[in-house]
Amino acid sequence: MREVAQGRNHILLNGRPVHLRGTVENAVFPKTGHAPVCDAEWERIMRIVKDYGLNHIRFHSWCPPAAAFRMADRHGVYLEVEMPMWGKDAEPDEARYDFFRREMRAILKEYGNHPSFVLYCNGNEITGNFDFIEELTADGRKLDTRHLYSGSTARTRVPSDQYYVSQQTNKGPVKVYEGRPSTDWDRSSESDVDVPVISHESGQRCVYPDFREIEKFTGPVRARNFELWREMLDANGMLDQAHDFFRASGALTVVEYKAVIEALLRSSKSAGFQLLSLNDFPGQGYAPVGILDPFWDSKGLVTPEEWRAFCAPTVALLRYPKSAWFDDETFTAKAEVYNFGAAALKNAKIRWSVTDGNGKTIAKGSLKSQTVGIDGVFPVGEFSAPLGKVRGPQKLTVHLNVGETIGNSWNIWVYPRNPSLMQSDAEVLYTTEFGEQARQYLAAGKKVVLTPAPNKVKGRKSTFHNHFWNPIMFAWAPMTIGCLIHADEPVFADFPTSFHTDWQWWDILENAKVIEMQAAPRQLRPFIQVIDSFDNNEKLGIGFEARVGGGKLLVLAVDTKKKMDERPATRQLLESIDNYVRSDRFAPEVTLDESFIASFMR
């Protein structure tokens, strides 16, 4: 038994606020070409949704069959149901209007008694006659009071709205598509309007396709696009890197989803969020934005247990100002607990710690034991950890535990100040221009480190984020999908990094330029390799090395002048490069002609 009502900021179930942690279901069933009508497949989907800490599914412009409602009832998943209305479907057309009037009544009559059917919406991103949308919404409210009603997702409000799935309110954006290197932000004030606000289609950052999935398409839908992209990658000389591109871009997408979800959990006045989506969408050119493939199978990027650390009924949260620190600073953080679980957490012990890469604890402490409330986001204290004892550049992990079962963690990076940077001498030239002096050094068999200002490089704009939704549907920047970092190369010996970008790369990538390198020799692989969109598949880089004119050249297309006192990660990368080029390990294997360097320099 349940009663749904409109609260101030949240949807109320039996008088209690509910925070919706949802995914969007886009009728993606490539094995059959139609939605399953049996209980078993929908039970599998509902179990997966719960395994990943979610409690809600929005059916994007469609109404699922009875089996979906039955299994959502059984497993406690809240549903938002829509008619097949999208875009211009509300443009004047009386025959179409009559269809929607009949269809709404049929949905309410056929499925209205399912307790999982909590929210009704007419459709997705509607344009046109909103007097008709208001008519439908008001009629629905009169016909069946067992649900809450909304006119349209992400578009014009109507007077009868009881909730709103939105990108924007009159107070600002409530959508969250990507994270930040700081966690001290939320969407609370933007969500505090006259109806509960659910963040619309959050996430949507691409993963490079996993071509191993081709063999899974055995039904009426075949992955012909994957085959074309694989052939293109092969023709461009990088097929051997396909799986690395998938892994690196996928790891970045997990980093982004964690930041996105935590920001929305910190938003105490948000009614919830709807990810787009937990699984990939093979339409619109193919949108590989999920941590699951189109078959609802894991891509192997993150386990359900790891995901639930930041997406669950109860989650430990931290607010801190940045992810990259100098070792003479003090890390500070504010701890919070998101708790929409079954009950308050009585006399909860709250502990924090900081560990290094070997798991050794370098700082720890406890906050005041306290009872953490229910149905909200609760501050539980602050702590700080001086970083002066950190020796050398390191990735550290900050842990926050609440009681015995709730825990979450965040990576931060700590670097020394490295006071002297990029000092030229008789053997190594640091320069921002590929001019006569650089050519002379190279001709003499010496070393050159070229760090051109981004505005002096012909190429693409660099950014930390990977592409939105997919590059075929939305051909806007960035037309790239993260970076593959060749972390085992000696150039990174003094710059701790994984094979993918994480928040320590934010400052570097936001102040860089992407060099188009398709004309370079095939065997030349940049050590900072930018992953091109999968419908283009060209070789791109920000940092590479080569033999040029008898000497050794290292190119890093990163701004090394702007506000360097505020850029610890960039300073450390330059320190690592300097140590590398002054060592015997700096031995480029591929020879480049000077003309290639000139080709990307303005």
What single string gives the DSSP state of each residue in 319-360? Answer: E-S-SEEETTSEEEEEEEEEE-SSS-EEEEEEEEEEE-TTS-
**Domain identity same for 53 and 96:** yes
Residue 419: pLDDT band (50, 70, 90) is confident
Q: E strand or H helix at 143, and its extent?
A: helix 130-143
Q: Residue 392 domain-assigned?
A: yes
**What does 407-471 look like in DSSP terms, one character per residue?**
EEEEEEEEE----------SSEEEESS-SHHHHHHHHTT-EEEE---GGGB-EEEP-SSPPBS-T
Per-residue confidence (pLDDT) for residue 529, from 0 to 100: 98
Per-chain mean pLDDT for the chain: 97
**Domain identity same for 288 and 340:** no
Q: Residue 13 domain-assigned?
A: yes
Per-residue confidence (pLDDT) for residue 24, from 0 to 100: 98
Per-residue confidence (pLDDT) for residue 65, from 0 to 100: 98
User: Which among 308, 340, 374 is the end of a domain?
Assistant: 308
Per-residue confidence (pLDDT) for residue 421, from 0 to 100: 79
Strand partners, 173: 168
**What does 214-275 look like in DSSP terms, one character per residue?**
GGG--SS---HHHHHHHHHHHHTT-GGGHHHHHHHHHHHHHHHHHHHHHHHHH-TT--EEEE
CATH number of the domain where residue 393 is located:
2.60.40.10
**Domain identity same for 272 and 336:** no
Q: Residue 53 domain-assigned?
A: yes
Q: Residue 304 domain-assigned?
A: yes
Provide the token pair at 413: 């990076």
Instruction: Check: CB of residue 538 under 8 Å from CB of residue 516.
Output: yes
> What average pLDDT does this structure show over 509-519?
97
As for how many domains the chain has, the answer is 3
Residue 588: pLDDT band (50, 70, 90) is very high
Longest Cα–Cα distance of the chain, Å, equals 86
**Domain identity same for 84 and 159:** yes
Per-residue confidence (pLDDT) for residue 418, from 0 to 100: 85
Peptide bond into 478 cis (omega under 30): yes
pLDDT in tens, 209-236: 999 999 999 999 999 999 999 999 999 9
**Domain identity same for 347 and 411:** yes
Residue 381 CA, distance from chain mean position: 28
**Domain identity same for 259 and 357:** no
pLDDT in tens, 308-364: 999 999 999 999 999 999 999 999 999 999 999 999 999 999 999 999 999 999 999
> Has residue 1 got a pLDDT over 90?
no
CA atoms within 13 A on the CB side of 146: 14
Measuring CA to CA, which residue among 454, 473, 470 is closest to residue 462?
Answer: 454
Give, to the nearest 10 degrees, the angle between helix 94-111 and helix 66-75: 40
Per-residue confidence (pLDDT) for residue 49, from 0 to 100: 98
Question: What span, in angstroms and rounded, lies between the C-alpha atoms of 282 and 115?
Answer: 31
* pLDDT > 70: percent of the chain: 100
Hunting for tokens 């948000």 — which residue is that?
270
Per-residue confidence (pLDDT) for residue 119, from 0 to 100: 98
Range of the domain at 583: 428-600
**Domain identity same for 203 and 263:** yes
Can you give the three-state secondary structure of 13-31, one letter per residue?
ECCEEECEEEEEECCCCCC
**Domain identity same for 373 and 469:** no
> Has residue 305 got a pLDDT over 80?
yes
Q: Residue 535 domain-assigned?
A: yes
**Domain identity same for 88 and 138:** yes
Residue 130: pLDDT band (50, 70, 90) is very high
> Has residue 420 got a pLDDT over 80?
no
Per-residue confidence (pLDDT) for residue 422, from 0 to 100: 86
Provide the token pair at 47: 């179990």
Q: Residue 315 domain-assigned?
A: no
> What average pLDDT does this structure show over 525-536?
98
Per-residue confidence (pLDDT) for residue 112, from 0 to 100: 97
How far CA 145 is from CA of 8, 76, 392, in Å, comes to 18, 20, 63
Q: Residue 321 domain-assigned?
A: no
**Domain identity same for 259 and 354:** no
pLDDT in tens, 60-72: 999 999 999 999 9
Q: Residue 163 domain-assigned?
A: yes
Measuring CA to CA, which residue among 249, 244, 177, 240 is closest to residue 208?
Answer: 249
524 Rama class: left (phi>0) / alpha (psi -120 to 50) / beta:
beta
Q: E strand or H helix at 99, and its extent?
A: helix 94-111
**Domain identity same for 538 and 485:** yes
Measuring CA to CA, which residue among 385, 382, 272 is closest to residue 338?
Answer: 272
Give, to the nearest 10 degrees, the angle between helix 94-111 and helix 130-143: 20
* pLDDT > 90: percent of the chain: 99
User: Which among 308, 341, 376 is the end of a domain?
Assistant: 308
Measuring CA to CA, which residue among 51, 109, 47 is closest to residue 81?
Answer: 109
Residue 291: pLDDT band (50, 70, 90) is very high
**Domain identity same for 336 and 481:** no
Measuring CA to CA, which residue among 148, 53, 73, 83 is closest to residue 116?
Answer: 73
User: Which among 415, 447, 477 is the end of a domain?
Assistant: 415
Per-residue confidence (pLDDT) for residue 338, from 0 to 100: 98
> Has residue 576 got a pLDDT over 90?
yes
> What average pLDDT does this structure show over 375-390?
97
Whether the pTM exceeds 0.85: the reply is yes
> What average pLDDT does this structure show over 246-253?
98
CATH number of the domain where residue 82 is located:
3.20.20.80
